[in-house]
Amino acid sequence: MPDITVLGTLPARLSTPRHSYAGDEEDALLARVLITSWSLASGRTLRSDVPPQQLTEDELIAFWADDADYTNYTDDADDRDAVPPADAS
């Protein structure tokens, strides 16, 4: 059974370019891998009724946006590498 979770079958989902270039197949495979990986990681999916190239800017932003909360992120590298003060006894 073909994998149709994200892009469906390649011929049905990706538009056929008028001129085929050597890297087109690799680009399509890379796009499929990246989209599938992000779908699995984020739980989001792209619309299946249009090829990814025809999605709107808002749809692409909503799909690729990282919802992680970085507001409490601090770089404590300096604290970890600091030498503790010597006892003053």
pLDDT band at 66 (very low <50, low <70, confident <90, very high): confident
Q: Is residue 34 part of a domain?
A: yes
Q: Is residue 79 part of a domain?
A: no
Q: What does the pLDDT look like over 11-33, one tens digit per residue?
A: 544 555 556 666 788 988 999 99
Q: Which of 11, 5, 49 is CA-nearest to residue 28?
A: 11
**Number of domains within the chain:** 1
Question: Is the model's pTM score more than 0.75?
Answer: no
pLDDT at 64 over 80: yes
Report percent pLDDT > 70 for the chain.
55
In this prediction, residue 77 carries a pLDDT of 55
Which residue range(s) make up the domain with 41? 1-8+21-66
Q: Is residue 14 part of a domain?
A: no
pLDDT at 48 over 80: yes
